[in-house]
Structure 1
Amino acid sequence: MRIATSVLTMAFVCLTGMSFAQRGPKPPKVIYPEFAFDSLTAREQLKRGTGTIQGIAFTKEKNNMGFKAPLGSRIYATNTKIVLFPVTPYFEAWRELRRKKEGKKTYVYMSNEAYRFRLETTTDNYGNFTFTEMKPGRYFLQAIVGWSTTHATNVYTGSGYNGYGRTDYYTPQYYSVSHSDRIEEYVEIKESGEVVRVKLH
Structure 2
Amino acid sequence: MIISLNKRWARTIVLFLALMAAPAIGMATALCADSLHVVTASDGARLFTATSTHAGLSVRQTFDDVRKIAAADGYVIAIEPDYSSPNPSMGIGKPPSPVPTLVQVQQPSGISFTSIVPPGNASKGVPERLCAMVGKFEAGRPAVPNQFEPAMTAETLEQSRTTIPVTKPVVNILKPDVPFDLAAAKAALEPGRSTIRGQVCGSWRGNLVLGSQPVLLYPVTPYLQQILALGKKAKRGKDQVVTDPDLVVARMEAKPNENGEFQFSRMKLGEYYLVTSISAVLGGSRDVYAGHVDTDYGSGNVYTSQNFSFGSDAGIERIVEVKKDGDTVKVTMQPHISAFNHSGLSGSILGCSKFGKEVSRGM
**Inter-partner Cα distance in structure 2 for 1:87 and 1:77:** 26
8 Å contact from structure 1 (residues 79, 125) kept in 2 = yes
SS of the residue corresponding to residue 223 of structure 2 reads: helix
Which stretch of the first structure deviates more once superposed, 190-199 or 139-148? 190-199
| Letter of the 1:55 counterpart | G
8 Å contact from structure 1 (residues 37, 114) kept in 2 = yes
Structure with higher Rg: it is: 2
- 1:132 maps to 265
**Inter-partner Cα distance in structure 2 for 1:102 and 1:129:** 33
Shift of 1:100: 0.8
**Equivalent residue pairs, number:** 181
For residues 166-185 of structure 1, what are the structure 2 equivalents within 5 Å?
169-185=302-318
Unaligned runs of 5+ in 1: 62-71
**Inter-partner Cα distance in structure 2 for 1:165 and 1:127:** 54
Say whether residues 1:93 and 2:226 are aligned partners: yes
Shift of 1:7: 3.0
- 1:146 maps to 279
SS of the residue corresponding to residue 317 of structure 2 reads: strand
| Letter of the 2:180 counterpart | F
- 1:66 maps to none
Question: Structure 1 residues 51, 117: closer, same or farther in 2, change over 3 A?
Answer: same
8 Å contact from structure 2 (residues 214, 255) kept in 1 = yes
- 2:251 maps to 118
* Larger helix percent: 2
Equivalent of 2:210, from 61, 77, 100? 77
Which stretch of the first structure deviates more once superposed, 87-96 or 147-156? 147-156
Shift of 1:93: 0.6
- 2:200 maps to 57
8 Å contact from structure 1 (residues 55, 197) kept in 2 = yes
8 Å contact from structure 2 (residues 273, 319) kept in 1 = yes
Question: Structure 1 residues 108, 160: closer, same or farther in 2, change over 3 A?
Answer: same
Unaligned runs of 5+ in 2: 1-42, 50-86, 88-105, 109-155, 157-162, 335-363
* Larger strand percent: 1
**Inter-partner Cα distance in structure 1 for 2:240 and 2:210:** 24
**Cα deviation per residue 1:63-85 (whole Å; 9 max; x = unaligned)?**
xxxxxxxxx75734332211101
**Inter-partner Cα distance in structure 2 for 1:134 and 1:102:** 35
**Inter-partner Cα distance in structure 1 for 2:179 and 2:242:** 14
Equivalent of 1:6, from 22, 44, 50? 44
CA RMSD of aligned residues (A): 3.7
Which stretch of the first structure deviates more once superposed, 130-139 or 170-179? 170-179
Shift of 1:56: 1.4
